[in-house]
Amino acid sequence: MEKVFTGDKNKWCNNTCNSILFFLHEHEIFTLFNSLTKWCVAILMYLLPLAVYAQEKNLDYYLNQGVQNSPLLKENANNILLNHIDSLRIIASYKPQVSGISTNYYAPTIKGYGYDEVITNLRNFSETISTSKQLVSKRNLQIQFNGIQLLNDSISIASKITGQDLRRTIIAAYIAAYGSWRQYTFNKEVYDLLSKEDTILKKLTRASVYRQTDYLTFLVTLQQQHLAITQARMQYQNDFATLNFISGLFDTTLTPLDSPHIALEQLPEMNTSVFYQKFGIDSLLLINAGKQIDIAYKPKVSLGADAGYVSSLAYLPYKNFGASASMNIIVPIYDGKQRKLLHKRLNILEQTRVNYRDFFITQYNQQIAQLTQQLQMTGQLINETNNQLKYVRGLIQANSKLLATGDVHIADYIIAINNYLNTQNVITQNVVNQLQIITQINYWNKR
C-alpha cells in the first residue's frame, strides 16, 4: 500500500531517523560502525601491498642513473669510437698494400686433343709477392679527416640533445611522482587529524552534545578520506614505477621522494645553444661533402711492384725468377655530368637545412615566450591560493577548538575540511605545473 506524505519533508526525515534510532541502542550503533571501519580497513590492506619505505631518494640520483643506463647515450659514445677506427683505416689504406699471389695452371694435351699450346703454353706457374700504394695529397687526406671530425661533432651534439631529452623526461616523471607523493602525505595528514577528532566526537555524542546522525556523517567523511589515501597511494605507486622505468631501474618499494630543487636557469644566446649548433654542423658536413666530390674527380696515381717466380716450365725454368714495377694513372674525362648532379643534390639539401633552421628559430622564440607567460600566471595563482590557505587553516583550527566544546556544527566542520582539501589540491597541482614549466624552459639552456 503506497503511503503519501503531505507534511513537511524535513520534519518527516527527522521523525523517521528518530524512529529508527529508537530501536537501536546507542552502544550498538557505535559497535556497528567501529566494526564496519575495521572491516573496510582490513579489505583495503589485503588488496594493496603494505607500504615499504626505503631511503629517501632525490632527483640527482635518478638523473645519474638514467644517464648511466641509457643505451642510446652509450651507442653515441661507441659511434665516436667507430669513427676513430675509420680514420685509422683511412691512414692504413694509403700505406703500401702487400699480398702474396699464387697462380698455378696446367692444360694437358692427350693424343693430340687439348687446348692450343700457342694460347695456353700448356702450363703456367706464378708465385709472386706484390705491393701497391696509392698516391694521395695532404689536402685529400685532410678533407677526409675533417669529414670524420664533423661526424664526431654531429654525434656529440646529438648526444647532448639526447641527454637533454632524457633529463627532461626523467625530471617530468619525478615531478609527477613527487606531486602524487605530496598528495598522499597530505591526505594522510588530514586523515590523522580526523581520526583524532573522532575520539572526541565519540565522547561528545555519548554525552548527547552531538546527535548520532551528525556523528554518522562525520564517520562517512572519515571513511571517504581513508579511500582518498588509498587512491593517492596507488597513484603514487604508478608514477613511481614510471619514474624507475624511464631511469632504467627496478624498484617496487614505496620510496619517499625529496622535493625537487629546480630553479629557473638563464638561457644562453640562441646561436650558442646546442640545438642551434646542430644546423651549423650540418652546413659544414654539406660543404665537406662537396669537397669530397671534387676530390673524387682529381687524377689518381698508384704505384705497384711485384717479385717472384713466373714460368711455363718450357725453357730454362730455373731462370724465371724476376721482378716488375708499374704505375697507373686514372684521369676522369666524362661521366655523364654526374658531378654536376651531385652538387645540385647538395644544394637542395642545403635549402632543406635552412628551412629547418628558420622554422626552429620561430618555434624557439614562440615557445620561450609562451612558457614564460605561463610561469608568471602560475606563480600568481600559487600566491593567491597560499593566501587563501591561511584563512582555511585558521577556520579549521577555530572549528577544531569549538568542536571540542560542542559549539560548532559538524556539517560546518566538514565543509571547512573539504575547503582545506580542495585548496591544498589546487596548490599541489599548480606547484607541479610550475616545476614542469621551469623544466621545459631549462631544457633549452644546453650549450
In angstroms, the Cα distances linking 167 to 138, 164, 171 are: 43, 5, 6
Per-residue pLDDT at 56: 64
Per-residue pLDDT at 146: 95
Q: Domain residues of the chain, as ranges?
A: 24-94+137-297+334-445, 97-135+298-331
State whether CATH 2.20.200.10 applies to domain 97-135+298-331: yes
Helix (H, G, I), strand (E, B) or coil at 316: coil
Same fold, 24-94+137-297+334-445 and 97-135+298-331: no
24-94+137-297+334-445 CATH pick, 1.20.1090.10, 3.30.465.10, 1.20.1600.10, 3.20.20.120:
1.20.1600.10
Please give the model's pTM, rounded to 2 decimal places. Answer: 0.79
Strands 321-330 and 97-106: unpaired
Backbone angles phi, psi at 220, to 5 degrees: -60, -45
Q: Please, are residues 53 and 255 in contact by the beta-carbon 8 Å criterion? A: yes
Digit-by-digit pLDDT tens for the chain (447 residues) are 333 334 443 443 444 344 433 333 444 444 444 544 444 444 444 344 434 444 568 999 999 999 999 999 999 999 999 999 999 999 999 999 999 999 888 888 888 788 777 676 778 888 999 999 998 889 999 999 999 999 999 999 999 999 999 999 999 999 999 999 999 999 999 999 889 889 888 888 888 888 888 889 889 999 999 999 999 999 999 999 999 999 999 887 878 899 998 999 999 899 899 999 999 999 999 999 999 999 999 999 999 999 999 887 877 888 889 999 999 999 999 999 999 999 999 999 999 999 999 999 999 999 999 999 999 999 999 999 999 988 888 988 888 888 888 888 888 888 888 888 899 999 999 999 999 999 999 999 988
Transcribe 182-208 into DSSP letters.
HHHHHHHHHHHHHHHHHHHHHHHHHTT
Per-residue pLDDT at 55: 57
Q: Please, are residues 5 and 12 in contact by the beta-carbon 8 Å criterion? A: yes
Q: Which amino acid is at 298?
A: K
Euclidean distance between CA atoms 136 and 30, whole angstroms: 98
Per-residue pLDDT at 18: 44
Helix (H, G, I), strand (E, B) or coil at 255: coil
Transcribe 32-88 into DSSP letters.
HHHHHHHHHHHHHHHHSPPP-----B-HHHHHHHHHHH-HHHHHHHHHHHHHHHHHH
Euclidean distance between CA atoms 188 and 228, whole angstroms: 9
Strands (E), 221-375: 300-311, 321-330
